[in-house]
Structure 1
Amino acid sequence: MKIGWIGTGVMGRSMCLHLIKAGHEAYVYNRTKEKAADLIEAGAVWCDNPAEVASKTDTIFTIVGYPKDVEETILGPNGVLANCSEGKTIVDMTTSKPQLAEKIHADAAAKGVDALDAPVSGGDLGARNASLAIMVGGEKEVFDRVLPLFEAMGKTIQLMGGPGTGQHTKMSNQILIAGTMIGVVESLLYSYRAGMDLDEVIDVIGSGAAGSWSINNLGRRIAQKDFDPGFFIKHFVKDMGIALEEARRMNLALPGLSLANQFYISAMAMGYENLGTQALYKVFENMNTQN
């Protein structure tokens, strides 16, 4: 299959590479060409813009930064949809706004183009290992057609409902992670102050009732003082903002998420926006620095 791929960042690069290794012909675009170098070396064809990607391929995947990037990339005058012919499929894997996913679906349908919203969870490790959770919104017929491509990138793949439901599921995911990360960093900071070996602590508590993906994966990175991004803080702040916006629209109070959001905004203010979400540890560490 001829697939298009727009967005070759921390996760997108690995995801596209899995499709190339599965034998698909890939046409790629990224704002910074250097970030697609390994894909081009693996056989991908470079395109100069999203329009060129769309014109040359059958199924076009996008995984970009922010909703405004999604809107420009897919719905802009030089974007994907404007250059899609009838029968093609657009799959947006960015974590974005549910209402934007619904608009993309509607605009695409009016042109005879299929669309799915399919955000993912699992970070850089899940992307590299093709073990992502992929939560999909859209029509079952389209989902079934794209499923073999999803299976090259993830292990848990679920159609959640109609357009936008993939994004709503991802918001549920991010809400849970936001609160969990506070627990992870406070737990490990407490252990550190108590003079414990953090890896040994994780060995024990990560296998009991307190076990979670965050403690067993991001906790290990904290123990090694590895704050490189598997998922950027700046993108997590974006995600929490979308979830809070949707909650307000539903007249729903989420005080735990609001608190976590404030801590991550503090991380941004400290200059940590390009570090991984586990760098929340540094915020709490700074708050508790003894003079």
Structure 2
Amino acid sequence: MPISKENTIIGFIGTGVMGKSMAKNLIKAGYELLVYNRTKSKAQELIELGAAWKDSPAEIAKEADVIITMVGYPKDVRELYLGEGRVIENAKKGSYLIDMTTSSPKLAMEIYEEAKARGLYALDAPVSGGDVGAREATLSIMVGGDREAFEEVKPIFEAMGKNIVLQGKAGAGQHTKMSNQIAIASNMIGVCEAMAYAKKAGLDPKLVLKSIESGAAGSWSLSNLAPRMLDGDFRPGFYIKHFIKDMKIALESAEEMGLKTPGLKLALSLYEELAEKGEEDSGTQALFKYYI
């Protein structure tokens, strides 16, 4: 039976900064939702909106037709999907498994193969757009896996994002997200240095931003994160600790392919320095603190 709002139960695992907003948009779109998070209080708002709480990922897997995960690290993804008594072992035959965590391309391929052997459909579908994109359902969603499975669950993706692209076979979504993070890494250095330069030159950085954000220097980070930097708002739309994780995955993948990424290495070293100073739970825009 084709996926539809009327006959599909979605299980959502991981209701943090991004996951909560994504799950909320699925409820708004009319889907029946089951939720699980290690800290139940973080799912309370979703429960109040009508989502049903489940006490474990295994319970989610047993009841849901589509299982979406949005957790922190590759080790969490591995434990959720491949750990004993977890998602793959408990999922109903024919279920769709969608990992939207930014994780390892190799792990995505491993999950795909294990799922396929059990009659399940697995997609890796990391996202970009930050907390704003998650709230406004405008995320960019990068998907790896079989086209048939992608087309079947595409309406679910459309409830959470706008730019939804099947990039290729299993792992392709994660490789695309690595390209995204590599682009952001060096760009963030440029954004911070531009704003620090403006301040040092005695200019009003907000006026400078008004002039440069719509020209050749324009970028999402410049338009969305530079204003936060200048206002001293370093709350996380995306945690530094998670960005460090992403950069390490990208660096490892690049090295395996024999690709040199000096800009990525530099950005990683700066963010690791900030994390050592206690900024790991700040937003990525806190890189500005390195310069001020």
Residues 150-198 of structure 1 deviation map (CA, whole Å, 9 limit, x = unaligned): 0010010000000000000000000000000000000001111222222
Q: Which amino acid aligns with 2:86?
A: G
User: Residue deviations 1:24-62, cap 9 Å, x none?
Assistant: 010000001111011000000001110011111100000
Gaps of 5+ in 2: 1-7
Q: Which residue of 2 aligns with 1:58?
A: 65
Matches within 5 A, 1:159-178: 159-178=166-185
**Which of 125, 138, 142 is matched with 2:145 structurally?**
138
TM-score, normalization: structure 2?
0.97
**Alignment partners' CA distance in 2, 1:33 and 1:90:** 22
Partner of 1:264: 271
Query: How does the TM-score come out when normalised to structure 1?
Result: 0.97
Aligned partner of residue 278 in structure 2, secondary structure: coil
Work out whether 1:95 is the aligned partner of 2:113: no
For residue 47 of structure 2, the aligned residue among 37, 40, 47 is 40
Q: Which runs of 4+ in 1 moved over 4 A?
A: none
Aligned residues, how many?
285
Distance of 2:266 and 2:135 partners within structure 1: 31
The structural deviation recorded for 1:283 is 1.6
Structure 2 counterpart of 1:248, from 243, 255, 280: 255
The C-alpha deviation readout for 1:230-274, integer Å capped at 9, x for no partner, is 000000000000001001111111111101110010011111000
Structure 1 unmatched ranges of 5 or more? 286-291
Distance in 1 (CA, whole Å) between partners of 2:249 and 2:186 is 16
- Which residue is equivalent to 2:230? 223
Amino acid at match of 1:27: L
Structure 1 position 200, deviation (Å): 1.5
1:104 and 1:266 mapped to 2: Cα distance?
33
User: Partners of 1:283 and 1:49 in 2: how far apart?
Assistant: 41
- Of the candidates 19, 26, 35, which is equivalent to residue 12 of structure 1? 19
User: Is 1:151 the equivalent of 2:158?
Assistant: yes
- Encode CA deviations 1:200-240: one digit per residue, 9 max, x unaligned: 21111001110000000001111111000000000000000
For 1:182 and 1:116, the matched residues in 2 are separated by 32
Identity of aligned residues (%): 58
